[in-house]
Amino acid sequence: MTTLQPVRGTHDLLPLEHRKHSYIIDAARKVAASYGFLEMATPLLEFKEVFKRTLGDVSDIVTKEMYEIVKRGDEEIVLRPEGTAGIARAVMSNGLTQSMPLKFFYEGPMFRYERPQKGRLRQLHQIGAELFGVSDSMGDVEVIALAFDILKVLGLSQHVTLEINTLGDDESRKLYRDHLVAYLKDHHASLSPDSQQRLDRNPLRILDTKDEGDKKILNGAPLLTESLNAFSQEMFLKIQEGLNALKIPFQLNPHLVRGLDYYCHIAFEFTTTELGSQGTVLAGGRYDGLMTTMGGPSIPGVGWAGGIDRLALMLSEDALPPFIRPIAIIPMDEAFDIKGLELAQALRGQGHVVEMTYGGNLGKRLKKANKMNAHYAFILGEAEVASHTVTLKDLDTGEQTQLPREQIGEWLKDKGIS
């Protein structure tokens, strides 16, 4: 019985759902191309090391959420939990580090062993964009603008809020980290158990807490902006300037922190209130240290990933392009099936969407044509075949005419489909 269920946290994408996914991917792909981002794909399988080194040894993704699928000797192979590290690995593997900048768009499934919830799956689907080799803040602006444009095209920009923050460069972040830890240690006893743990592992994450008691303590905490050096400050301001110039609305959220180790400077999240606690729909930041962490040259980078599954939850059915209603081919009975097939092929060759009806008498086949939401039924019976004509029926109005085969194209053109 259980073998008939999908694996926990995985999901069949039935046509209706799949349509949303491909709509999102197509839209994103198109917008990304207009920014000069080239699509690429990396394997679903990577060596564990790729993520262990980059995401940070203590991040949840590495410590408990990775699917390890094969072990051969010392090889530890995992299903990729996210996209950026794999793309960065590919840049190095393929010796692409010589010519910068590089702009990549990608799409595909990621795997994380988490407790499933609405909008949180073990096989999740992401779109993503990465820009390598640009340390200028204009790169950050463009990358965010790309994300915003995609959300706009999807009709979701009104339903999300862009929040940004800066983590500063290494120097600033380390300084702040010390200040914060010093402050929080004084309040250690009153912190929530979760935050007490985070104090050792990832203290910046405490800023993001949902615990009310923690929030009160944080009100008196030192601010990251106070620890920013001049360079980091200027970088952040320039990005805001750029966003303003492009009329991309945003909110400053000094408590916004990214979970993965490789982030620095800008951190941004597009969030929605429509999906419960899984509110983050697209998020990213700058990761200047990523390449060196992987043992490569020092190449800056900035990028984001968006959750297709979450975006799909926000898309309403009627936001999608309408289905093309098919033409149904109706041979009156089996004797004319072959004639029907030939007609269907000819029409498909001209670019029409054509469905064959199988079996049954005229009434039954019309019923099926109706069920498949066909706009027109092309009927072929004894009389039609003998006179080399087809009976063309409009299933919405019920009108029908019998025309010579050669005039079908004309007739379809009159109906506005060609």
* Contacts with RNA, residue ranges (CB under 7 A): 1-2, 5, 8-9, 59-61, 65, 82, 112, 114-121, 124, 126, 194, 198, 202, 205, 208-211, 258-260, 269, 276-283, 305-307, 309-310, 332, 360-364, 366-367, 369-371, 379, 381-384, 391, 393, 395-398, 400
Whole-angstrom distance, CA of residue 306 vs CA of residue 244: 22
**Preceding amide of 404 cis, omega within 30:** no
Whole-angstrom distance, CA of residue 347 vs CA of residue 21: 29
Q: Which of 16, 2, 117 is nearest to 320 (CA)?
A: 16
Asked if residues 377 and 317 have their Cβ atoms less than 8 Å apart, the reply is: no
Whole-angstrom distance, CA of residue 33 vs CA of residue 6: 35
Q: Residues near 178 by Cβ (< 8 Å), separated by ≥ 6?
A: none
Q: Which of 327, 145, 394, 325 is nearest to 245 (CA)?
A: 145
CA 44, 110, 313, 266: dihedral to nearest 10 degrees?
-120
Nearer to RNA, 248 or 283 (CB): 283
Q: Which two tokens stand for residue 168?
A: 């500063």
Q: Which two tokens stand for residue 34?
A: 């207009």
